[in-house]
Structure formats: C-alpha cells, structure tokens
Amino acid sequence: MSLEFQRLPTESLNIEPEEINQAVELSNKIPDDSRQWQTYINGLALFTFKKWIEERDENLTVNWQGSTIAKPSLANAIPIITNLQVGQFKICLISLGSLFDEQVSFPKLVIDLPEFVPHFYVLVEVLEEQECGVIQGFITHQQLIENIETQTTNIQRDWTYQIPLNWFEKDPNSLFLYLRTLEPEAIPLPVVTANRQQQLAAIENELVRLLPQLQAPETELWQVLNWEQGSVVLTSPELLEWVYKLQNNNLETALASLQTYLLDFIKLITRPAINLGRWLWDELDEIGESLSWQLLNLTPAREFRSPAEEFEAIKLQLQSQGVEIPTVARCGHHNFLLAGHPLRIYAVVWNSSAKNDPNLWSLLLILGAPVPNTLPNTLKFRVSDLTGILTEQQVNPQQVNSYLYTSVVGAWDEKFIASVNIADGVEVTLPPFAFDNTRAGLSK
Amino acid sequence: MTADGEKNQTKTNYEQLMKQMTGLKYYTLVMLNSTGNRQLREIEVAKRFFVDLININNNTNEISDTLIQKRLLELFQNNSSQSSLLAQRCLLCFISWQSEQVCLFLEKQFGNFHGFTCGDLLPYVLDDDGNLQPSNTYQCFSRQILDTFDSEKSSLTTWTSRKVKQHKELNKYLLDCGLYLISDWAILNDTKPQQLENILGEFHYLTKLEIEQAQKLLSAYHKVYRAERFSQRANNKSRGRCNLPTIPQLQEITEVLKTKEIYMSTKIVMQNLQNLADLLRQYRIHVRGASFPTESLDEELNEFALIEQISAPKSENIISEEDETKDFLKNYRLHMINCLDNGIKTVIQLRLKKLQKKDPEKANKFAIALHLFHCQRLSMSKIAQQLGLRAQDAVARLLKLKEFRADVRREILVKLKEQVIELAQKYSTPTSITSLEAQITEALDEQITNIISQAEVEATTMQSNVAMSYFSQRLCRQLDNTN
C-alpha cells in the first residue's frame, strides 16, 4: 500500500508565507517555466537553509546576496544555488523535491569551475506542498572529488554528474561544527588559473554562431554548446546576462544583426580598451601608444595637410551642421588599412558631466581617408556598446570626400566599440574606447 | 440432536449473523449528530430495498461485498430504474462505514504519538445527511467519492480509502499533527520528465513508447498545472495542499498534447496522470527507504519510551581520561566542566530567544519541558499532558533533543578549544600550536562525544533508577540557577 501517511521529520523547518513570496519573486524573472519551477524550489531550499543555520548558531549568518540565485541571469543558467557565504565558507545548495532518485544531479560547474566551487555541498529536501524543508546531509568539496576520482561517475550529456545520495554525510549537525571550528584553508579549493578573457576571445566566432540559437527560452546551454564553450560562457557574467536578455526577448537589436552585435559585445568585454580619460591630461595610455594613436595639438602651428589642419576643416564642416565641439575636448587620430584602403579615424573626447547628470562622457568619432584618398563606396561604419548596435552608417556615393561621423554619450564606466566594414567578413574593429579620468585610471 | 447437527446450527447462526452484519453497512449510515458524536442511523427505505434485493438475488448464505456492490452499481447507474436512488443510498451508507474504518486505522497507527483520535477526523469525511435526494447546494464527501468511482479501475473499498486519505482538509489537520501525505499533484510537480526514463524503465519495466508518452504527458501537465500553482502562490491565493486539476486545466493539457500528436480525452488525461503519480509514489517510497531511512515512528518513539536498559557510563570516567603525559591538559577537567556549563547556557538562551520572538508562550513551555525531561525525568507523553500539548510528537518538536545535544557539543568544542589552546600556549612554542590544534580538536571531540552519547543513552532509557547523566546533572544545575 503506497498511499501512506508519513511522519514529518522532527528536524523539518516550516517555510513562512513571506519566504514563499520571496522565492516566487526570485523565480518570477526566469523565462522558461521548468527552470522557473526549479528556481522556486531552490529559493525555498535557500530559506530553509538560512533558517536552519541562523536559528541554531548566533555566530553564523547566511549571506545569499552574492549567490547565484540573487542574479536572474545566473539563476537562469545554473540549476542550483552556489556561492552562498557563511562566514568564510562558500556553500552550494542542492535541492531535492518530493520525488528524487537514488542519485542526485550535480552540475559539473560546481565541481569543475573554480568560480563556482564551494567548500560544502548541502542537500536540502523541500516539500513545497507541506511548506517545509529538511537539511538532509552534506559533503565537502574534497570528499566529493576523492569519491569522483575513485569511483566511476559518468558525466551526463547535460553537464551533470549523477552523485549517489549515500556519499553525503547523513548527520547535518556536523556542518555546524565545521563552520565554527575549521579554518577555510582546511578545505582547499581550486583557483582560477585560466585566463577567461583569452579563452573567450579565442572562441568568439564559434559563440557568435551558436549563442543566438539559445533564443527559445526552453533551450539549455548544453543543447547548443560543448562543455569547453559552456565553461567559457558560464564564467562570463556579461555573456550570461546577454543570453538572459536574449531569452527574455529583451535585446534591443533586430534578429538579423544579432550576430554582428554579439561579436561587438564579446570584443567589448574581452579586448583591452584605450582609456581616453588620459587624453584630458594630454597623455596616451599604453594601448593607445602601441597602436600609434596620436594626440592632436589643437592650437599650435600647422603643417600643410597635417591631421591637425584637416581636423580644423572637419570642425568647421561639423559646426555648419550644428555639431559643436567644446574647447575642453581632446582629439586623437589613428591611421589604419582596410583591405588595402588607407583610413583615418579621429576620436574627440570630453567630460560631459552636468550637475543633474554626473559621471558622463562624450565621444565623437569621425571616419575619413587621408588625402588624396576617399572613402570606398561600400564602406560601413558601426558603433556598439553592451546594449546593442548604436549606429551603422554607409558612405553616400553622391558626396565625394565626405566623412562618416557619429557621436555617443555614456556613463564613465561604459565602453564603446567601433568597426569599419567593406564587405561581408572584411572588417576592422578598433579597440574599445573607455573613459577613466580618476587617479587610478591615470596611473594605469 | 447430534453433535454434528449442533455444530451445523452454530455455523448457520454465525453465517446469519455475518450476513446481517454485512448487510447492516448498506442501510445504516455512520454519521455525526448535532453534538458531533458518532451515531448510527438505520435508513428504513434502504433497508427494505436492500433486504429484498439480497433475497431475490441470493438463495445461498454466501454473500460477498463485491457481488452486492456490483449489483447496486448496476441499479444505481441505470438512471431510468426506480431503484437508482435507493441503490445509491445503500452505496453511500457503505462508504460511510468504510470512511470510518480509514479514520480508525489512522488513529491506531498514529493517533497516540501524534495526538488525535478517530473522532477528530470524522467531521472531515462524514457530512452525509442520509437523504435519498442529493442536496442542491452542496455535494457531500461520500457522494463525491461515489461520483468519481470507476468500478473497472478499483474496488469501492480501495477507492474510498484513497479519497479519504487524500481529503484536503483532513490532510491539513494531520499536517498540523506532524503527519503528511504528499498529493499526486505535488509528486508530479516535482518530477522531471528526464527522471521518467529511469523510474518507469528500470524500476517499473515500462516500454520505451510508454515512457515517451508519459514524458509528454508530464511536460504538458507541468506547463499548465505548475504555471497555475506558481501564479496562485504569487498571489497568495493557494496555501499548502495542491488542488485537483480543474476541467479547464485538463482541457488545456489535452490541447498541449494535441500539438505533440497525442489525442486524449480529459478523463483519460486525468486517469493517466493519477496512474503516473501512483508509479512515482511507489518509486518514492522505495528510494526513501534506501537513501534516507528517516527514523521510523518506532525509533522516534523509542527515544522516549522505556526500552531495554543500557548501563550508562559513570560520569567520572568521562572526564578522567585526561592525558597525564601532557602538561597543558592539567587544568583540563576544570575547563571541561566550565565549557559544558557554558555551552548548555548558550544553547538554552539561544533557543529561548528564538522561540520568544515567535511565541513567548512556546518559549516558556520549552523551558518547562526541558526541566521536566532532564531533571524530573518524565516521559514525553507525561510532559505533553502537563503542558497541555497535543501529544508526544509535539513535545519532540518543541524540544528537538537531537539538535539540542548537537548544539551543546559544538559550543563545548569551540569554547574548550579556545581555552585549551590558550593553556597550551604557555607550554608550547607558537610554531607547534597549529599542529597541536588539530590533535586537540580530535581529542576533545572524542571526549565530548562521550558525554553527549551518554546523554543520548539516557534519553532513550529515561528511567528514574538509572543514574542521571553528567549532561543532565549540569543542565539541571543550570536550569535551577536561572530559575
């Protein structure tokens, strides 16, 4: 007879209505309904664990604001909660619903990616219907790794290990003992050795092709990416945010240019940026120097056909079109080749903070060709930031010897990236432009 | 009369009696009177109808519920028949008896420990007024049972038992008593379609095709039912137990299934979902037994019952095992007692503080219960009586002894470690302290475990003739000091 009442374990903890509300709120932001349910159950597990710890030991508090469930873009990609903080220890919660197998699905990321590896994995059973939870056991990272190494544990297609429940220490009370008396060093954790940015930059083209396939909210990362690609995406909060927005249908970019935008996006987060803030101090930073950018001295004597002289002409032309460049602005230029065509770009930068709009900077980009050349007819000029492609302009064949220019404004911590394209796949992307005029930025 | 004849006579009387007893259930209604007490009410028209029916159909003495119910159902379902209402009445009477049986069974199994009687449960399930015609405004529970009964799927006895055990309000009441029965819908909510491959394939030996169908059904159910539950939760509309899927929900599920080229009526969807839940439930019990052999009721009871007496170690032994060879442990004994007292004090204070925040009355009861258990050595059921608590179960939840001991153990260890290391520092070079620390932790933990396990043994053998454990001695001193 399977329809039997069971005794609610004495250790079970009630989940209060406000905690249920909070769990609902945490999961409300998840686009796919089955991940939403999982996040909801995870939220209930979190509040069970928090109560368990804090009711029992006044010296301990559970800080979950930095954990994966606190950020919807992480919760959307990670089916458990990790990076919970109790004192100096990191905790990962694995929640079990009312039905579970003899094995529990353990995401590979909390075992193999140092960014997510905790000191302790804690098993929390959640009875959603009964509104209560029970802490069922735990295992240290060390023990888990030892077990995985000595026993055959196959990795599943969906990037999970199947971990037998009997690996867990059944008496969760010892966890208190560890949390109170151990030093965190007693459980050594792996450290990030890989250069994540390099890894990301190395596979940017693969990701540009694959990530847009995640658009349907029910699509999971493992269905589209292999683990190497996945580990790069999972360790990039920006890319997870991008995927989250994509699945929420919240990107400002049209589908057709999604790949172009994504490429700009990845470059923005991986490429070292030129700090234009330094220009205000009449200095080039290292990156600007290495790419032979040159600052224009706007006042002194001019050489014939020098960039400075040319820029004066541009300024007048812009003025006639109603574009004013403030006198505090600084300008630099850079010559480069695209498919054999010599091109020149001017960047004009100034601090445009105002009383009611502090911490803003402005960037004016002007693309031209050094005389006697003109811009090729098929040339396109594009500027993007993390939110999308901001402008894309094309040469007007009627207007000879014209310039393409664009002006953008951003917060001090925002970056922009410009690309020049002459045909499909033939393009040059300049390093991102950043603006840091603080002392720290200057000393960089 | 020969001896054989006498025997036959007795046998016939007995059969007669049994026949009457069996029959009784079909025309006597178990119900609650206006004061809420159980009473039996014989329904005259039903009795006449039933006796006639049995006499016509049964010339032998043999009588079986299966046959009777089969005949009654035929008559009931044949709406044109005059006897339909009467047959229904007989079946409803039977359901009332069966419902009472389930409640009696629950009382027998759990009532004592969890503090309820059959009488507490009956009001939830016995609301049939005994009339021939159903009420226009309200469908009583037994009519709900009968209406949803499908004789091809189960027997009326099983079905009634199932429905009673799943009664929403009854479940809510029992949950308050510390008992739960997870509903089909909660099980389905918590099952991932991927899990079915293993559960249905390797545990239940279903075919690949059947598994695929079940996965699609489960996904469709999730899409509709979970979304609804979730939004009800968000709006604070639904508390606790999952509701039966509504007709519109079932219709929506059939629509989702159509897009996957599965065509089912809502009735079949409902049946298949329940069948799936049954299979999952069997698996759930299997896994739980193997993985978390959660303390059975018996074990839990044993913690408080008088079981075979285990001789407790003498308290002096526990703290006299100090290592004389090490200088730094000379003052150890004193520190140990000091830390034990401190630990007990800290844990009691924390518990009181946390309880006070929620319910000052409960905090008060906790302090008294702790005293009654450890110092007066009363059993859990006696404590329940004294404090006016529901039952032993409520006392167990109030005291949470296992956690209490674990917490004290931790506090002792933390404090003792600090003190002993301080002591040790006088004798050791700073460099050796680190390795010493590990050794001390281990040594101390062993000793503390000794004290605690002594308290555990005591808890399971709480008897006035067993020497009071050191733990209890110190705890009671502590309580006496604070009072």
Residue-wise pLDDT for A103-139, tens only, equals 899 999 999 999 999 999 999 999 999 999 999 999 9
CA distances from B277 to A72, A363, B184, B212, B216 (A): 32, 62, 5, 16, 14
Rounded to an integer, what distance in angstroms lies between the CA atom of residue A95 and that of residue A43? 9
Length of chain B: 483
Closest approach of A73 to chain B, Cα-based (Å): 20
Our count of domains for chain A comes to 3
Closest listed residue to residue A347, CA positions, set A397, A405, A428, A396: A405
Please give the average per-residue pLDDT across A64-75, as a whole number: 96
Search chain B and give the residue with CA nearest A39: B230
Rounded to an integer, what distance in angstroms lies between the CA atom of residue B230 and that of residue B250? 17
The minimal CB distance from A99 to the residues B162, B191, B417 is found for B191
Is A307 within the bounds of a domain? yes
Closest approach of A227 to chain B, Cα-based (Å): 20
Search chain B and give the residue with CA nearest A171: B406
Rounded to an integer, what distance in angstroms lies between the CA atom of residue B321 and that of residue B341? 19
Q: Are residues A242 and A296 in the same domain?
A: no
Q: Are residues B248 and B107 in the same domain?
A: no
Rounded to an integer, what distance in angstroms lies between the CA atom of residue B62 and that of residue B48? 20
CA distances from B337 to B318, B320, B345, B420, B440 (A): 11, 12, 12, 13, 17
Instruction: Tell me what ipTM this predicted complex has.
Output: 0.83
Tokens of B454: 């002594």
The minimal CB distance from A34 to the residues B195, B222, B397 is found for B222
Q: Are residues B378 and B473 in the same domain?
A: yes
Arithmetic mean of pLDDT over chain B:
81
Is A214 within the bounds of a domain? yes
Q: Are residues A230 and A285 in the same domain?
A: no
Q: Are residues B354 and B249 in the same domain?
A: no
Q: Are residues A236 and A286 in the same domain?
A: no
Q: Do A7 and B178 touch (CB under 8 A)?
A: yes
Tokens of A207: 């990701």
Closest approach of B41 to chain A, Cα-based (Å): 30
Pairing between strand B38-42 and A62-63? unpaired
Omega before residue A372 within 30° of 0, cis: yes
pLDDT in tens, B347-383: 999 999 999 998 999 999 999 999 988 888 888 888 9
Tokens of B227: 């979304």
- Determine contact, residues A347/A276, Cβ cutoff 8 Å: yes
Closest approach of A172 to chain B, Cα-based (Å): 10
3-state helix, strand, coil in chain B (%, to 5): 70, 0, 25
The minimal CB distance from B242 to the residues A11, A101, A129 is found for A129
Rounded to an integer, what distance in angstroms lies between the CA atom of residue B354 and that of residue A52? 12
The minimal CB distance from B195 to the residues A101, A130, A131 is found for A101
pLDDT at residue A81, as a whole number: 97
Over 80: is that where the pLDDT of A295 sits? yes
Rounded to an integer, what distance in angstroms lies between the CA atom of residue A317 and that of residue A320? 5
Q: Do B236 and A17 touch (CB under 8 A)?
A: yes
Is B455 within the bounds of a domain? yes
Q: Are residues B19 and B163 in the same domain?
A: yes
Region for residue B469 given its phi and psi (left: phi exceeds 0; alpha: psi -120 to 50; beta: otherwise): beta
Q: Are residues A284 and A365 in the same domain?
A: yes
Task: Pick the more confident residue, B108 or B290.
Answer: B108
Arithmetic mean of pLDDT over chain A:
89
The minimal CB distance from B396 to the residues A10, A40, A56 is found for A10
List the beta bridge partners of residue B42. B28
Closest approach of A36 to chain B, Cα-based (Å): 9
Closest listed residue to residue B14, CA positions, set B57, B61, B69, B54: B61
Contacts of B190 in chain A (CB under 8 A): 41, 97-99, 128
Query: pTM value?
Result: 0.85
pLDDT at residue A257, as a whole number: 85
Is B302 within the bounds of a domain? no
pLDDT at residue A47, as a whole number: 97
Over 50: is that where the pLDDT of A287 sits? yes
Is B153 within the bounds of a domain? yes
pLDDT at residue A54, as a whole number: 92
Q: Could you tell me the pLDDT band of residue A303, with boundaries at 50, 70 and 90?
A: low
Of A174-178, A292-296, B416-420, the poorest mean pLDDT is in B416-420
The minimal CB distance from A24 to the residues B181, B234, B241 is found for B234
Contacts of A165 in chain B (CB under 8 A): 291-292
Over 70: is that where the pLDDT of B319 sits? no
- Determine contact, residues B245/B225, Cβ cutoff 8 Å: yes
Q: Are residues B359 and B438 in the same domain?
A: yes
Given the structure tokens 């003498």, which residue do they identify? Answer: B314
- Determine contact, residues A250/A87, Cβ cutoff 8 Å: no
Tokens of A59: 């010296």
Q: What is the dihedral of CA B363, B366, B370, B372, to 10 degrees?
A: 120
Closest approach of A100 to chain B, Cα-based (Å): 7
Is A259 within the bounds of a domain? no
CB B44: neighbour CB atoms within 10 A? 9
- Element holding B344 (H helix, E strand): helix B332-358
**CATH, residue A83:** 3.40.1350
Tokens of A182: 């151990």
Over 90: is that where the pLDDT of B406 sits? no
pLDDT in tens, B24-41: 899 999 999 888 899 999
Is B309 within the bounds of a domain? no
Is B419 within the bounds of a domain? yes
Tokens of A77: 């990609």
pLDDT at residue A304, as a whole number: 60
Q: Are residues B59 and B195 in the same domain?
A: no
Of A177-181, B279-283, B395-399, the poorest mean pLDDT is in A177-181
Q: Could you tell me the pLDDT band of residue A159, with boundaries at 50, 70 and 90?
A: very high
Rounded to an integer, what distance in angstroms lies between the CA atom of residue B222 and that of residue A37? 9
Is A132 within the bounds of a domain? yes
Q: Do B181 and A6 touch (CB under 8 A)?
A: yes
- Please state the three-class secondary structure of B130-196 as a single string: CCCCCCCCCCCHHHHHHHCCCCCCCCHHHHHHHHHHCCHHHHHHHHHCCEECCCHHHHHHCCCHHHH
Long-range CB pairs of B235-238 (<8 Å, 24+ gap) are: B236/A17, B236/A21
pLDDT at residue B315, as a whole number: 41
Please give the average per-residue pLDDT across A296-315, as a whole number: 70
Q: Are residues B109 and B134 in the same domain?
A: yes
Is A65 within the bounds of a domain? yes
Our count of domains for chain B comes to 3
Region for residue B365 given its phi and psi (left: phi exceeds 0; alpha: psi -120 to 50; beta: otherwise): alpha
pLDDT at residue B306, as a whole number: 32
Rounded to an integer, what distance in angstroms lies between the CA atom of residue B280 and that of residue B211? 13
Q: Could you tell me the pLDDT band of residue B233, with boundaries at 50, 70 and 90?
A: confident
State which amino acid sits at residue A111.
I
pLDDT in tens, B45-82: 999 988 888 776 655 555 688 888 888 998 898 877 77
Is A84 within the bounds of a domain? yes
Q: Are residues B55 and B156 in the same domain?
A: yes
Q: Are residues A166 and A207 in the same domain?
A: no
Q: Do B410 and A177 touch (CB under 8 A)?
A: yes
Q: What is the DSSP string of B418-478?
A: HHHHHHHHHHS-HHHHHHHHHHHHHHHHHHHHHHHHHHHHHHHT--TTSPPPHHHHHHHHH
Region for residue B125 given its phi and psi (left: phi exceeds 0; alpha: psi -120 to 50; beta: otherwise): alpha
Q: Do A10 and B278 touch (CB under 8 A)?
A: no
Among the candidates B131, B159, B177, a domain finishes at B177
Among the candidates B177, B202, B235, a domain finishes at B177
Contacts of B410 in chain A (CB under 8 A): 57, 173, 176-177, 180-181
- Please state the three-class secondary structure of chain A as a single string: CCCCCEECCCCCEECCHHHHHHHHHHHHCCCCHHHHHHHHHHHHHHHHHHHHHHHHCCCCCEECCCCHHHCHHHHHHCCCEEEEEECCEEEEEEEECCCCCCEEEEECHHHHCHHHCCCEEEEEEEECCCCEEEEEEEEEHHHHHHHHHHCCCCECCCCEEEEEHHHCECCCHHHHHHHHHCCHHHCCCCCCCCCHHHHHHHCHHHHHHHHHHHCCCCCCHHHHCCHHHHHHHHCCHHHHHHHHHHHCCCCCCCHHHHHHHHHHHHHHHHCCCEEHHHHHHCCCCHHHHHCCCEECCCCCCCCCCCHHHHHHHHHHHHHHCCCCCCCCCEEEEEEEEECCEEEEEEEEEEECCCCCCCCEEEEEEEEECCCCCCCCCCCEEEEEECCEEEEEEECCCCCCCCCEEEEEEEECCCCEEEEEEEECCEEEECCCEECCCCHHHHHC
Q: Do A97 and B175 touch (CB under 8 A)?
A: no
Q: Do B180 and A24 touch (CB under 8 A)?
A: no
According to DSSP, residue B29 is labeled E
Search chain A and give the residue with CA nearest B184: A3
Q: Are residues A212 and A99 in the same domain?
A: no
Search chain B and give the residue with CA nearest A96: B190
- Element holding B41 (H helix, E strand): strand B38-42
Q: Do B287 and A102 touch (CB under 8 A)?
A: yes
Over 60: is that where the pLDDT of B209 sits? yes
pLDDT at residue A200, as a whole number: 93
Q: Do A21 and B190 touch (CB under 8 A)?
A: no
Is B308 within the bounds of a domain? no
Closest approach of B333 to chain A, Cα-based (Å): 21
Rounded to an integer, what distance in angstroms lies between the CA atom of residue A25 and that of residue A193? 36
Rounded to an integer, what distance in angstroms lies between the CA atom of residue A343 and that of residue A384? 20
Of A15-19, A380-384, A434-438, B11-15, the poorest mean pLDDT is in B11-15
Alpha helices in B292-331 (DSSP H): 297-302, 315-319
Q: Do B283 and A99 touch (CB under 8 A)?
A: yes
- Determine contact, residues B453/B459, Cβ cutoff 8 Å: no
Contacts of A99 in chain B (CB under 8 A): 187, 190-191, 195, 280, 283-284
Is B405 within the bounds of a domain? yes
- Determine contact, residues B213/B140, Cβ cutoff 8 Å: no
Give me the domain span that covers residue B23. 1-177
Give me the domain span that covers residue A383. 274-443
Q: Are residues B214 and B164 in the same domain?
A: no
Q: How far apart are the first and last CA of chain A?
A: 72
Please give the average per-residue pLDDT across A326-344, as a whole number: 89
pLDDT at residue B322, as a whole number: 41
Q: Do A97 and B191 touch (CB under 8 A)?
A: yes
Contacts of A55 in chain B (CB under 8 A): 354
Contacts of B287 in chain A (CB under 8 A): 100-102
Contacts of A154 in chain B (CB under 8 A): none
The minimal CB distance from A10 to the residues B182, B354, B400 is found for B400
Contacts of A171 in chain B (CB under 8 A): 406
Q: Are residues A338 and A416 in the same domain?
A: yes
Q: Are residues A291 and A437 in the same domain?
A: yes
What are the φ/ψ torsions at residue B408 (nearest 5 degrees)?
-65, -45
How many angstroms from the chain centroid is the CA of residue B438?
Answer: 43
Neighbouring residues of A382: CB distance < 8 A, sequence distance ≥ 6: A260, A264, A389, A391, A392, A393, A418, A419, A420, A421
Rounded to an integer, what distance in angstroms lies between the CA atom of residue B441 and that of residue B421? 10
Rounded to an integer, what distance in angstroms lies between the CA atom of residue B445 and that of residue A223? 49
Is B6 within the bounds of a domain? yes
Over 50: is that where the pLDDT of A444 sits? no
Q: Do B236 and A131 touch (CB under 8 A)?
A: no
Q: Are residues A240 and A325 in the same domain?
A: no
Is A366 within the bounds of a domain? yes
Rounded to an integer, what distance in angstroms lies between the CA atom of residue B281 and that of residue B372? 40
Q: Do A101 and B350 touch (CB under 8 A)?
A: no
Q: Are residues B208 and B122 in the same domain?
A: no
pLDDT in tens, A265-285: 999 999 999 998 888 888 888
Search chain B and give the residue with CA nearest A135: B292
Angle at alpha carbon of residue B371, lines to B367 and B377, rounded to 5°: 150
Interface test with A, best of B292, B348, B392 (most A CBs within 10 A): B292
How many angstroms from the chain centroid is the CA of residue A400?
Answer: 42
Over 70: is that where the pLDDT of B467 sits? no
Q: Do B187 and A99 touch (CB under 8 A)?
A: yes
- Determine contact, residues B316/B473, Cβ cutoff 8 Å: no
Contacts of A7 in chain B (CB under 8 A): 110, 114, 178-179, 294, 296-297, 300, 393
Is A191 within the bounds of a domain? no
Over 70: is that where the pLDDT of B429 sits? no
Of A75-89, A138-152, A228-242, A370-384, the poorest mean pLDDT is in A370-384
Among the candidates B177, B210, B233, a domain finishes at B177
- Provide the number of CB pairs (under 8 Å) joining chain A to chain B: 156
Contacts of B402 in chain A (CB under 8 A): 10-11, 173
Rounded to an integer, what distance in angstroms lies between the CA atom of residue B281 and that of residue A305? 85
Q: Do A97 and B190 touch (CB under 8 A)?
A: yes
Q: Do B182 and A98 touch (CB under 8 A)?
A: yes
Q: Are residues A243 and A317 in the same domain?
A: no
Closest approach of A20 to chain B, Cα-based (Å): 8
List the beta bridge partners of residue A138. A122, A169
Contacts of A58 in chain B (CB under 8 A): 350
Q: Are residues A293 and A345 in the same domain?
A: yes
Q: Are residues B188 and B149 in the same domain?
A: no
Over 90: is that where the pLDDT of A194 sits? no
Q: Do B180 and A170 touch (CB under 8 A)?
A: no
Q: Do A101 and B199 touch (CB under 8 A)?
A: yes
CB B260: neighbour CB atoms within 10 A? 14
pLDDT at residue A401, as a whole number: 60
Q: Are residues B254 and B321 in the same domain?
A: no
According to DSSP, residue B329 is labeled G
Please give the average per-residue pLDDT across B424-448, as a whole number: 59
pLDDT at residue B320, as a whole number: 41
Q: Are residues A427 and A293 in the same domain?
A: yes
